[in-house]
Amino acid sequence: MMPSPVKIVVTDTNVLINLVHISRLGLCGGLQGMEFIVPEAVLRELTQDEQRVAIDMAIASGGLRVDSMTDLGELATYSDLADRMGKGEAACLAVASARGWSLASDEKGRFRREAVARIGEARLIGTADLLLMGIRAGLLSVKEADEAKVTLESRRFKMPFDSFRDLLQS
């Protein structure tokens, strides 16, 4: 029997920080059939020691993998995008579009429009999507996800629904 294909997700700084805030970075290593990649440019955006330590631990445990851009096409796309958005976002979008990967980011506005144009809506994943996947995989309960939602909202990250229960019913 052939193993199921792995969905590769290049992961932006804001999703990683959200997962650190709610102590759920382990979702990156726990979701079966998914591999989470962090571009070096994203690591350079981490400025708080607690966040960097947590992410370094996730890398050491294999939950996250660091990747470098070496392809000239990726580097050219990155250079073009970095003039219009953050370096981490530009790196994620350049890699995801060149390699056909999904992209985990909670960015809005210009970044989201550019990402949808380059990779399509279906390949964009946000923090809420990861928590929902975690619920469906049995890695956390609806109650735990709703508690995480409250924690993130206290840090000014608002999700446009009342409870993860609502998402499970739709």
Residue ranges, the chain, pLDDT below 50:
2
The reported pLDDT for the residue numbered 5 is 65
> Whole-angstrom distance between the N-terminal and C-terminal Cα of the chain?
33
The reported pLDDT for the residue numbered 67 is 94
d(CA 43, CA 139): 26
The reported pLDDT for the residue numbered 141 is 97
CATH topology of domain 7-141: Rossmann fold (3.40.50)
The reported pLDDT for the residue numbered 6 is 82
The H-assigned helical ranges of the chain are 13-21, 27-30, 40-45, 49-61, 72-82, 87-99, 109-119, 127-136, 142-154, 164-169
- Sign of the torsion formed by the C-alpha atoms of 118, 21, 157 and 159: positive
Give the three-class secondary structure for 64: strand
The reported pLDDT for the residue numbered 3 is 55
* Domain parsing of the chain, residue ranges: 7-141
The reported pLDDT for the residue numbered 106 is 96
